[in-house]
Structure 1
Amino acid sequence: MATQFQNRLVGTLILVSLGVIFLPDVFDGEKAHYEESYQAIPLRKEVDESVLTEPIQAPEQVESFMPPEDPVMVTIDEPVVSDVEAAESSAPKEGYTDSAWIIRLGTFRNIENAKNLVSTLRGKGYPAQLMPRDIKEGDLARVEVGPDVSKEKLESMTADLESLTGLKGQLLRFNPLNP
């Protein structure tokens, strides 16, 4: 026969084991399940099918800004010449017999030196400029005097420019499309 102490011990063990099993569920409350809420991105937009079946309307008649009797003809015959090739050959090309001339004094890597030379030349009355106009640090800058349509006038300036700056300039044709 079991003693009273053994009965109490077994009863206590049963109560403790039931408490260990069921009390966490009671005190934990309702469990929340977390799910990511997202929406799938469609692969392409939905297309309104009625747009595809609508007839295309004819364009409105608009007056042209150009007269119809003078059509514009564009022909491209000449190959594009780079700055280096233009500098090497200053021979007149077809169609440029009455073009302007420039004196290229030099090409500078230091932009400040080129700007100082241009300001000095402008102070003395020469039409000097820095090319290209939108120069960035590290690019090569060309100092040019001109353009002028009189080649003789620029040739007479070369001696004055050489004595003023110490640079012997090159007399080149001015190309307004590729300065």
Structure 2
Amino acid sequence: MASKFQSRLVGTIILVAIGVIFLPDLFDGKKQHYQEQFASIPLQPEITDEVEYETIPAPEFAEVDLPPEPVTVVIDEPQPEQQVEVTAAAIEAANQPLKVEPQPVTEPKVGNQDSAWVVQLGVFRNFDNANQLVERLRKAGYQAHVFPKQPQQGDLARVVVGPDVSKQKLSGDIKKLEELTGLKGRLVRFNPLNP
């Protein structure tokens, strides 16, 4: 008879062997195997000898009633062709390559910068106040603008009336604008590149 120690040792070895064999399958769960499905592409399509032909229907003729007498049509008489004399000098000039000289870049004329005027009514920190003033001026019939059009943080809004080429017309409008808005405007030159 074997001793108790040997019995326990054999039992422990059997339990460990069963655990080593069966526990990994138990803890792995169901394994999923991914296999890409490929559709087989035939190398050459099968050609059948049977070809279906479609029949084309016969054309249909419509009956047209023609007038009993021949019809005459009057066409404008052709203009006589103009004759152009071709000389040897004209042929040589046509065969020579066209020479184009680049035009020098010119600076804008000084008078163009002074051509327009605006009445600046004020400079505002609050763009909403400037826009309200512009709306009031537009309702009164003036061409009013706020600059800059796309304000950024820290920019000041300038409200101007114009531009106009006539300096006298705008200087006459300054009194009307002061009565309408309560702001004393001043006449300044308009620069289209930096309004």
One fold, TM greater than 0.5? yes
Cα displacement (A) at 1:138 = 6.1
The match for 1:10 is: 5
In the TM superposition, what are the counterparts of 1:33-112 in structure 2 within 5 Å? 69=100, 71-74=102-105, 94-96=110-112, 98-112=114-128
2 CA distance for matches of 1:95 and 1:168?
28
1:132–1:141 CA contact under 8 A, matched in 2? yes
Amino acid aligned to 1:131: F
- Name the SS for the 2:111 alignment partner: coil
2 CA distance for matches of 1:122 and 1:137? 26
Residue 134 of structure 1 is aligned with which of 146, 150, 159?
A: 150
Name the CA distance, whole Å, in 2 between partners of 1:146 and 1:175.
Answer: 12
- Percent identity over the alignment is 45
Deviation at 1:106, TM superposition (A): 0.8
Amino acid at match of 1:71: P
Change (3 A) 1:124 1:137: farther
| Root mean square deviation of aligned Cα | 3.1
Is contact 2:113–2:191 with CA below 8 Å preserved after alignment?
no
TM-score, normalization by structure 2: 0.53
Q: Distance in 2 between matches of 1:160 and 1:122?
A: 14
Change in CA separation of 1:68 and 1:165 when aligned onto 2, cut-off 3 Å:
farther
1:14-59 alpha-carbon deviations (Å, 9 max, x no partner): 2123124422211224697xxxxxxxxxxxxxxxxxxxxxxxxxxx
Which moved further from structure 2: 151-160 or 125-134? 125-134
Of 127, 140, 149, 2:165 maps to 149
Matched residue SS, 1:144 = strand
SS in 1 for 2:169: helix
- Counterparts of 2:118 and 2:13 in 1: how far apart (Å)? 105
Contact 1:104 1:142 in 2 (8 A): yes
Which ranges in structure 2 are unaligned for 5 or more consecutive residues?
29-97
The answer (yes or no) to whether the contact 2:146–2:157 under 8 Å persists in 1 is: yes
Mapped pair 1:26 → 2:21: yes
Provide TM-score, normalisation by structure 1.
0.57
